[in-house]
Amino acid sequence: MAERGPTLLFSVFFCLLCYVFHTVASTKDEYSEELLIIPFRSGQVYSHFEFTTLWDVDFAQGGGGRYKLQHFRLFPRALGQVMTEYRVQEMHLTLTQGMWQQDKWGYPVTSAAPGAELWAWFQQEVDDVDQAWFGLTNALSGLFCASLNFIDSTSTATPHLSFRPQGLAEGLFSTKPSHLRYATLPRENVCTENLTPWKKLLPCSTRTGLAALFHAGQLYNTQYSSLGVHLRPVCRNDSCRDASLELRQVLSTVADPPATLNGKQDWSMKRYFSRSLSGPCPMAVTSRVYVDVTTNQTSSFTLKPEPTELKLTNYQGYNRKLAVYDLWSFPFHKEHGLNVDMKWKKEVSYKELFPPRLYVHRFVTGYGQEHGGIMSLLYNRHPYLEQQIIYMELLPWFTRMYLHTLKVETTEGNLVQPLLTRYTPGRDRQNPYLLEIVLTLPPDSTTRISFSFERAFLKWTEYPPDANHGFYISSAVLTTILRQADNFTVPPHMGSGLQSGLFHSSTEFPLRLHTETLLISLPTPDFSMPYNVICLTCTVIAIAFGSLHNLTTRRFQYTDLKKANSGGMRAWLAQLFGRGKQATSEDKLREPGKESEDPGEESETSEENDYIGEQRELVTPRVRAESDKKDR
């Protein structure tokens, strides 16, 4: 009985401790996964996956918007530790393959530049932003298997007008452009090795839920494929006195059924993702698939299976009908899961495509390898509204921009005066050229922005191994606020998740568009030249030098033929084989001074010399003995 007392006390204390630790738990985090499928009028099908994790982190801990991440539950720890280490407030990374065709497909949910694009806002208290940026790019290159470590000062810029923070930017959070860094790598290619670590950041990975559809062979067999990781602080609730950390992982693809099916537009999950959905991710609060069936009246396709509900949305006069499959309430069969299947009755008819009100194209002009030009065409198709835009251009240092050649005019010839021009000149091998122009596009017009540049000579060590491929110029970025919803796939929004954007009514839509990347060729030397020169020089030296050496160091002597004949076996053999030469040696008698032309035949010349001439002795016996020694 006496023993039980302390043990009882200990067990009670232990239970209490457990209970205490049980309640001292991680802060609330929420995960939701959504998929949006939109068939375009041109026959392609757009699939956009969005995986959002919202974490109620305490931001005010260290001051200056610094957060401390611990007790990771749904938020990926690998990414969280990188963000804490380099004190990142907001980060956007996209890896894209292909070009989004604005005039055919409208606007994407999130626009991305071809290649790799990374921009980050650092916390207010960070003193050395460049050091933090350098560390961040290297850490991300290891995390996503991309060559982001090639981002250095020659490809990094600090835009002042474009790329404002998409997350909170008041009070604790920095808004000064000095804390922003932007860089792109247009040469970067995207493949399964980027998808693999990206998939592993998801709470359910690819075991179940929407991420189970990821099969690399299908995802990269598309016209456009983009991976994105977006991290930002957001309002926790409507009163917005607290902030949460939002991580948004995005995967967009545009598949082309008519190209692979000979004109037929039929699309199904099994065909384009190689599998069907078997259930939601257990960690997800919402798990939904939205299919845009607005065009069902006009194009008439049948959608199978039956959606859990049909929702109608309306913004700014645009009606949209969405079929919603809620994976938590969908009756899943044991054998086959959810396979969204769209079958069209007719072949794709390539209807007249209506491009959006605002879109942009860019291309290189000029010829030769010394100068060139870039021209951008900005289309504003609205009949009566003008549009204010910010146009940002980032040129590498080896295309030296001439600002005085900048011309902004409409195609009719009317000059458009920019409201603001912000130019940061570049420095050779150090900084790129950054140009930001604010201008107003007149209604129903095409505005031309053009300027010329000069191509630089690179040092021969600065060329990449495939130098003749050319060099890339990253895409230009157009930022604007549209006051009329127009051809939006999902209106850009400040809320989290697709549902806050799809069922959203606002009067202002911030929009970002990317143009094409450009490929230019710089004056490239012929790298095989040193090899060719060495070969040629060595041949010339071998032939000329050899001959000259023979001429200057060889002496020709005459010997007695009779003496040579009485040499015994060796001399008899020599005579046997030398019989063919006797005729030639007699010829040579007439030209005593002729030297041998072949420098390699030194032993033979001495033999020939033995048979040349009889009585003539050009050298004294003493010298002859010496030269004999030299020859042998």
Site for another protein in 516-575 (CB under 8 A): none
Q: Which stretch in 20-28, 352-360, 470-478, 546-554 sits in contact with another protein by CB under 8 A?
A: 20-28
- The nearest distance, CB 375 to another protein, in angstroms, is 24
Tell which residue, 237, 201, 229, 235, has the closest CA to residue 59.
235
- The nearest distance, CB 134 to another protein, in angstroms, is 7
Q: Which stretch in 213-221, 290-298, 561-569, 605-613 sits in contact with another protein by CB under 8 A?
A: 213-221
271 binds another protein (CB under 8 A): no
Q: Which one, 387 or 475, has the nearer CB to another protein? A: 387
347 binds another protein (CB under 8 A): no
Could you say which residues in the range 424-483 bind another protein, by CB under 8 A? Answer: 438, 464-466, 479-481
Q: Which of 1, 6, 7, 24 binds another protein (CB under 8 A)?
A: 24
26 binds another protein (CB under 8 A): yes
Query: Tokens 């051809």 map to which residue?
Result: 487
Q: Which stretch in 6-14, 182-190, 368-376, 400-408 sits in contact with another protein by CB under 8 A?
A: 182-190
Q: Which one, 174 or 557, has the nearer CB to another protein? A: 174
Q: Which one, 322 or 490, has the nearer CB to another protein? A: 490
Q: Which stretch in 45-53, 190-198, 315-323, 615-623 sits in contact with another protein by CB under 8 A?
A: 190-198
Q: Which stretch in 11-19, 33-41, 209-217, 331-339 sits in contact with another protein by CB under 8 A?
A: 209-217
Q: Please give the distance of CA 429 from its chain centroid, rounded to a whole number.
A: 21
Number of residues that bind another protein (CB under 8 A): 77
x-marked contacts with another protein along 382-401 as a string, rule CB under 8 A = ------x-x-----------
- For residue 509, report the phi and psi dihedrals to the nearest 5 degrees: -125, 105
Distance CA 554, CA 606 (A): 10
33 binds another protein (CB under 8 A): no
3-class secondary-structure state, position 545: helix
3-class secondary-structure state, position 410: strand
Q: Which one, 73 or 581, has the nearer CB to another protein? A: 73
Q: Which of 154, 158, 175, 410 binds another protein (CB under 8 A)?
A: 175
Under a CB-based contact definition with an 8 Å cutoff, are residues 252 and 106 in contact? no
Q: Which stretch in 254-262, 340-348, 418-426, 566-574 sits in contact with another protein by CB under 8 A?
A: 418-426
Q: Which of 419, 519, 535, 544 binds another protein (CB under 8 A)?
A: 419
Q: Which stretch in 166-174, 336-344, 550-558, 574-582 sits in contact with another protein by CB under 8 A?
A: 166-174
Q: Which of 1, 3, 127, 239 binds another protein (CB under 8 A)?
A: 239
27 binds another protein (CB under 8 A): yes
Could you say which residues in the range 289-328 bind another protein, by CB under 8 A? Answer: 328
- The nearest distance, CB 383 to another protein, in angstroms, is 23
219 binds another protein (CB under 8 A): yes
Q: Which one, 236 or 554, has the nearer CB to another protein? A: 236
Under a CB-based contact definition with an 8 Å cutoff, are residues 167 and 90 in contact? yes
86 binds another protein (CB under 8 A): no
Distance CA 168, CA 56 (A): 14
β-strands 29-39, 284-292 pairing: parallel
Q: Which stretch in 42-50, 160-168, 305-313, 318-326 sits in contact with another protein by CB under 8 A?
A: 160-168
Q: Which of 303, 456, 494, 522 binds another protein (CB under 8 A)?
A: 494
191 binds another protein (CB under 8 A): yes
> What residues have CB less than 8 Å from 241, skipping those under 6 apart?
none
Tell which residue, 334, 215, 339, 326, has the closest CA to residue 277.
339
Range 409-443 burial, b when 16+ CB lie within 10 A, else e: ebeeeeebeeeeebebebeeeebbbbbbbbbebbe
Q: Name the helix (H) or strand (E) containing 627.
A: helix 621-631
Q: Burial, 566: exposed, middle or buried (Cβ in 10 Å; 0-12, 13-18, 19+)?
A: exposed
x-marked contacts with another protein along 88-127 as a string, rule CB under 8 A = ---------x------------------------------
3-class secondary-structure state, position 244: strand
Could you say which residues in the range 128-157 bind another protein, by CB under 8 A? Answer: 134-135, 138-139, 141-143, 145, 147, 149-150
Distance CA 242, CA 472 (A): 43
Under a CB-based contact definition with an 8 Å cutoff, are residues 274 and 240 in contact? no
Residue 314 CB neighbours (<10 A): 11
Q: Which stretch in 105-113, 214-222, 574-582, 596-604 sits in contact with another protein by CB under 8 A?
A: 214-222
Task: Specify which residues 259 forms β-bridges with.
Answer: none
562-569, long-range: CB < 8 A, 24+ apart:
562/614, 564/610, 564/611
Distance CA 516, CA 498 (A): 27
Distance CA 455, CA 425 (A): 15
510 binds another protein (CB under 8 A): yes
Maximum distance among all Cα pairs of the chain, rounded to whole angstroms? 138
Q: Which of 72, 125, 215, 458 binds another protein (CB under 8 A)?
A: 215
Query: What are the tokens at 49?
Result: 């996956």
Distance CA 242, CA 69 (A): 16
Distance CA 280, CA 563 (A): 108
Distance CA 444, CA 396 (A): 33
